[in-house]
Structure 1
Amino acid sequence: MNTNPEIAHGVRANGILTNYHDSGSGFPVLLIHGSGPGVSAWANWRLTMPELAKRSRVIAPDMAGFGFTERPQGIAYNLDTWVAQAVGLLDALDIAQADVVGNSFGGALALAMAIRHPKRVRRLVLMGSVGVPFEITPGLDAAWGYEPSIENMRKLLDIFAYDRSLVTDELAELRYQASIRPGFQESFSAMFPAPRQRWVNAMASREQDIRALPHETLVIHGREDKVIPLSTSLTLAQWIDRSQLHVFGRCGHWTQIEHAQRFAKLVGDFLTEQQS
């Protein structure tokens, strides 16, 4: 019997055997995780899923190359692959439309998904999101360039969190162990090789496409984020017509962990309020 909480259901999404979590009932919400080393949907969203599941059906997949989703030989890790996998998951679960919440790297996927498949997305939440041009930060360069060691994982957590008391050495040990599972580091290091500015650019959507988005959008950022600069969310909030922006003070890159209750309430309220 599986005792690992990170492993839940399996289904083929656009041909990729995808590990995903599925809880609650109501209008579906697709949660797309970030791209830190050893990440999985569960590691990213474990505090958010039970709260959102009180009001919505919550679906959180491991994207290709991450977590416990299959890593097919010769797969191209890029926006096209990931967006097709996300839409393929909705197809496999017979979901015509969902709200989409994207964290960091996942924000770029959520944005691209809304642009390419506008009818599949109802509302959009972008948290500490990639998806617009910016100069790569030392923090993101360090995260994407991670080489497995407990010391390097501790350093990364120092970069990710504003309040290090939330991000314990125990968590560093867990995330380090996750990053050295068979296949994990191989796919991770293949994904964003140096020079890494090109991957920031490759994840960006075109300004005119973002400006044309009709979706109600909630943009969230931590003021002290050292991984993705706050300026990216200011840009998104300016470009997306039906957007609102919420900035958490005393918060780094992990809003959903550092301000877990407030984050879940903010997102839950936004997704369940009546359309204006």
Structure 2
Amino acid sequence: MPERTSVTLHFVERGAGMPVLALHGWTPDHRLMLGCLEPVFAKRPGYRRLYPDLPGMGKSPAPPRIAGSDDMLAAVEDFIDDTIGAEPFLLVGESYGGYLARALVRARPRQVLGLALICPPGRNLEKSERLVPERQVLRPDPELLASLDAPLAEEFADVAVVQTPETVRRFRDEILAGLHLADTAAMERIKQRWQLAEHPPEGDGQFDRPSLILTGRQDDSAGYVEQFALLPHYPRATYAVLDVAGHNLQIEQPALFDALMLEWLDRVAAESGREG
């Protein structure tokens, strides 16, 4: 048995039933996924949602032994063993969390009943190597930006494709709040060994269960083109490029996001013998 990392991840749990593990991206915390998914599961009872903070983010520590993505993955594996055990579960990963989720599917192909990837990196993990569109704001609101505190306005404007009071609220509460808690020293250390030893997609086999890959047409962080190359590894995947949406597509196209996630849950339920 692999040696445990001895890192205890802080997490928030909601609901009861089939487990759903939700992994956030690089530097936010569990609130990103909580904000993503709770509106979806409000329409679908019977699921136990697990929202951990990854090591070095939120309230989860990253001691020196967490020195790269392989250690991050091992900590998540330990979390699964402790909170889910051998029970089948659904897996959702956003951005860097999607990178780890793909590795988990490779490690536990029979335990994961379905996979959803939200703005995942494609073939290249390093942002400088990704094929991404030019920065574009499609729904600007200069008056709104002028009304915000300068630090919030700057960070929001750096990523927002849709500038509305609601997208500001969700960015502040679900994303920015976590960014301020990140252990920057630990994350710099981990970033030195950011790529997994068995780097997807080279290490991917085929995952033949219901999957969903969501990308933003204006996502200048992860892009939307390279993810298409993942499809041979996920023969049961729905692949969607959402217009008027950047790297935080769940807050910029919430109705479409919810609809696609609900349809994914329906497909998983139909094949796992559960009612949707």
Q: Indicate whether 1:40 and 2:35 are aligned.
A: no
TM-score (norm. length: structure 2): 0.75
Match of 1:51 among 27, 40, 43: 40
Q: Indicate whether 1:16 and 2:7 are aligned.
A: yes
Q: Which residue of 2 aligns with 1:143?
A: none
AA aligned to 1:260 is P
Q: Which residue of 2 aligns with 1:103?
A: 94
SS state of the match for residue 8, structure 2?
Answer: strand
AA aligned to 1:275 is E
AA aligned to 2:185 is E
Change (3 A) 1:72 1:258: same
Q: Indicate whether 1:192 and 2:191 are aligned.
A: yes
Structure with higher RCO (Cα < 8 A, 6+ apart): 2
Q: 1:72 Cα shift?
A: 1.8
Match of 2:251 among 242, 253, 257: 257
Q: Which residue of 1 aligns with 2:72?
A: 82
Change (3 A) 1:16 1:244: same
Q: 1:234 Cα shift?
A: 1.3
Q: Which residue of 2 aligns with 1:245?
A: 239
Q: Which residue of 2 aligns with 1:227?
A: 221
Change (3 A) 1:15 1:119: farther
Aligned residues: 247
Equivalent pair of 2:201/2:230 in contact (CA under 8 Å)? no
247-256 or 40-49, larger mean C-alpha shift: 40-49
Q: Which residue of 2 aligns with 1:68?
A: 59
Equivalent pair of 2:68/2:194 in contact (CA under 8 Å)? no
Q: 1:270 Cα shift?
A: 1.0
SS state of the match for residue 103, structure 2?
Answer: helix
Q: Which residue of 2 aligns with 1:8?
A: none
Match of 1:210 among 200, 204, 216: 204
Equivalent pair of 1:65/1:77 in contact (CA under 8 Å)? no
Equivalent pair of 1:52/1:264 in contact (CA under 8 Å)? no
Q: Which residue of 1 aligns with 2:22?
A: 31
Q: Indicate whether 1:160 and 2:143 are aligned.
A: no
Q: Which residue of 2 aligns with 1:275?
A: 271
SS state of the match for residue 31, structure 1?
Answer: strand
Which whole-Å deviations, capped at 9, do the CAs of 1:151-190 have from their partners, x for residues lacking one? 6764443342211224438955996665444x62222333
Q: Which residue of 1 aligns with 2:143?
A: none
Change (3 A) 1:94 1:253: closer
Identity between Structure 1 and Structure 2 (%)? 23
AA aligned to 2:156 is L
Equivalent pair of 2:115/2:212 in contact (CA under 8 Å)? yes
AA aligned to 1:126 is L
Change (3 A) 1:121 1:60: same
Which whole-Å deviations, capped at 9, do the CAs of 1:25-58 have from their partners, x for residues lacking one? 222111100114xx11113432422532543211
Q: Which runs of 5+ in 2 are unaligned?
A: 132-148
The Cα RMSD (Å) is 3.3
Equivalent pair of 1:48/1:256 in contact (CA under 8 Å)? no
TM-score (norm. length: structure 1): 0.75
Q: Which runs of 5+ in 1 are unaligned?
A: 1-12, 141-149
Equivalent pair of 2:31/2:175 in contact (CA under 8 Å)? no
Equivalent pair of 2:25/2:94 in contact (CA under 8 Å)? yes
SS state of the match for residue 100, structure 1?
Answer: strand
Change (3 A) 1:151 1:210: farther
